[in-house]
C-alpha cells in the first residue's frame, strides 16, 4: 500500500509540480533516513546534516526527467552515498566512544513505553548490538540495518546497495550468523 501512495505522490510531484507531495514524502521518510544516518555517523549533528542533504538531493533528482520506481530505495541510496562522501571528505573515524554515544542517542529513538529500568536495559542492549555491528563487515552492517531496523525488503535493499536480491539474502544470513557468533548476542 505504501508503494502505491509513493507512486501517487511521485506522479503529483513530477507531473503536477505539487510541492505538498514532496512535503508528504519528506514526512513519510525523514525519521527513517535520519535513523539510518545516526547509526552510521559519529555525531547527531552530522546525521542531521546528511538527512537534510538527502532530501535536497532527492528534490534535485526529481526535477530531472529520469524515471523513479521506488522512492524509499532511492532515498536510502542517496543517504548511503552522502555518508560515503562524508567519510571520504573527512579524516573522521568512528571510535568506540562515538559508537556508545550513537547507542545512547539511538535508544532515545525507541518508544518511551515502560520507563526506568526497561529503558536502561534497552539502552545497554542497543549499545551492545551497535558495538557488535561495528565489528562486522560493512556489507553485513548495511544489510542488517536496512532489514532489521528499517524493515526494507530484500529487493529494496538490493536497489539501495546495487546488488541482486538473492545476493542480499546471502549477505543477510551470513551477517546474522556472524552476529550470533559474537559473544552476548541472542535472537
pLDDT tens digits along 135-167: 788 888 888 888 887 788 899 898 888 899 999
- pLDDT, tens only, 14-61: 888 888 999 999 999 999 999 889 888 888 899 999 999 999 999 999
The grid coordinates listed for 6 are 509513493
DSSP state of 116: T
Q: Are residues 1 and 67 in the same domain?
A: yes
Q: Pick the more confident residue, 66 or 127.
A: 66
DSSP secondary structure string for all residues of 34-53: HHHHHHHSSSHHHHHHHHHH
Q: Pick the more confident residue, 44 or 103.
A: 44
- Parent domain of 177: 136-187
Q: Are residues 143 and 121 in the same domain?
A: no
How far is the C-alpha of 76 from the C-alpha of 78, rounded, in Å? Answer: 5
Q: Are residues 100 and 116 in the same domain?
A: yes
Q: Are residues 7 and 75 in the same domain?
A: yes
Q: Are residues 75 and 116 in the same domain?
A: no
Is residue 175 a contact partner of residue 144, using CB atoms and an 8 Å limit? yes
| 73 dihedral zone (left: phi>0; alpha: psi -120 to 50; beta) | alpha
The total number of structural domains in the chain stands at: 3
The pLDDT confidence band at residue 76, using thresholds 50, 70 and 90, is very high
Amino acid at each position: 500500500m505504501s508503494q502505491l501512495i509513493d507512486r501517487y505522490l511521485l506522479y503529483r510531484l513530477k507531473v503536477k509540480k505539487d510541492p505538498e507531495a514532496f512535503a508528504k514524502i519528506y514526512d513519510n521518510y525523514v525519521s527513517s533516513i535520519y535513523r539510518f544516518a545516526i547509526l552510521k555517523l559519529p555525531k547527531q549533528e552530522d546525521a542531521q546534516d546528511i538527512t537534510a542533504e538527502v532530501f535536497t538531493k532527492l528534490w534535485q533528482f526529481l526535477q530531472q526527467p529520469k524515471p523513479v520506481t521506488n522512492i524509499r530505495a532511492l532515498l536510502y541510496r542517496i543517504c548511503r552515498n552522502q555518508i560515503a562522501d562524508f567519510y571520504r571528505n573527512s579524516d573522521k573515524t568512528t571510535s568506540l566512544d562515538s559508537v556508545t554515544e550513537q547507542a545512547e542517542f539511538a535508544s532515545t529513538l525507541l518508544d518511551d513505553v515502560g520507563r526506568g529500568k526497561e529503558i536502561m536495559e534497552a539502552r545497554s542492549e542497543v549499545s551492545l548490538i551497535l558495538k557488535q555491528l561495528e565489528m562486522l563487515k560493512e556489507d553485513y552492517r548495511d544489510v542488517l540495518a536496512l532489514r532489521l531496523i528499517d524493515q526494507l525488503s530484500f529487493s529494496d535493499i538490493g536497489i539501495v546497495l546495487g546488488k541482486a536480491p538473492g545476493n542480499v539474502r546471502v549477505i543477510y544470513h551470513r551477517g546474522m550468523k556472524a552476529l550470533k557468533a559474537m559473544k552476548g548476542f541472542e535472537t
